[in-house]
Amino acid sequence: MKIIKLNAIDSTNTFLKNMVSKMSIDDFTVVVAKTQTKGRGQMNSEWVVEEGKNLTFSVYSSFSKLQIVNHKYLNFCVSLSVYEALKDLKLPDLKVKWPNDILSGNKKLAGILIENSLRGSNISSSVIGVGVNVNQDSFSKKLANASSIKMILEREIDLDILLEAILSKLREKFELLNKKEFQFLEEAYLDVLYKKNVPMMFKDNQNILFMGKIVGVSRNGNLQIELENETIQEFGLKEVSFASL
């Protein structure tokens, strides 16, 4: 495993993708930055961090026989890796909010961005970006649901040790992925899925409110919500949100 440490970069995912496009790099190459000037979350949302206080890194991983139709299991692997590393810190009420935010209570601690390269019907490689709010003391009022490990546990966390813990978990989960332990990964993910089987008010991308409960994740990775009439409807990224959060 090769770890590249940078002081400042626009985005660790962008940096690593540019490396991959220009040269052959080792599997599980990691790029870590003290700060990102243009960090990205899902759907090009901005990931804002305070310099030197948080963990922002990207991992390059190549795959030999990971079919595109199984892409959700890659997401499960990464989500569970970050979740389990944070769980070991004894953070309370830790959950994965679909697709891959990590929450303590209803406060967001970590986000994940996975960008895949495809070859035929397979995912040939991925650049996996992870951002964890670690030692930051405060956040913008625009980020009302954001928090950090330090704010919750009231102690500072060593960034290098946490990085090592997440990468170790990621290696373990990738072994399960390579062995096609899909059912195990799905059960583990659904077991820690935020608000699963809890009746909630949701809002779709047309701002229409409806009652339902999360029951699972579909074959193509969409969120499955059971409606009041007991039918199950699927929603893609940014197509649905919790109305009360």
Q: What is the mean pLDDT of residues 195-211?
A: 96
At residue 98, φ and ψ (nearest 5 deg) are -55, 135
Give the containing element (helix H, strand E) for 158: none
pLDDT at site 23: 93
119 pairs with which residues across the strands? 122
Q: Please tell me the predicted confidence (pLDDT) of residue 205.
A: 92
pLDDT of residue 179: 96
In the numeric block, the tokens 């960090």 are attached to 39
Position 177 scores a pLDDT of: 97
| CB-CB neighbours of 144 under 10 Å | 11
Tell me which residue has tokens 């008010």: 201
For the segment 79-107, what is each residue's pLDDT rounded down to a tens digit?
A: 999 999 999 999 999 999 999 999 999 99
| CA pair distance 32, 13, nearest whole angstrom | 10
For the chain, domains (ranges, CATH) are 2-192 (3.30.930.10), 198-242 (2.30.30.100)
Chain segment 3-23, per-residue pLDDT in tens: 999 998 989 999 999 999 999
pLDDT at 25 over 60: yes
pLDDT at residue 132, as a whole number: 97
pLDDT at 46: 53
> How does DSSP classify residue 10?
S
Given a cut of 90, is residue 48 above it in pLDDT? no
pLDDT greater than 70 at residue 39:
no
pLDDT at 85: 98
Non-local CB neighbours of 136 within 8 Å, separated by 6+ positions: 49, 50, 53, 54, 148, 150, 151
Residue 47 has pLDDT above 70, yes or no: no
Is the pLDDT at 195 greater than 70, yes or no? yes
Q: Greater confidence, 39 or 142?
A: 142
Q: Which residue from 203, 170, 62, 79 is spatially nearest to 122, judged by alpha carbons? A: 62
- Given a cut of 80, whether residue 110 has pLDDT beyond it is yes
Tokens of 9: 């970069």
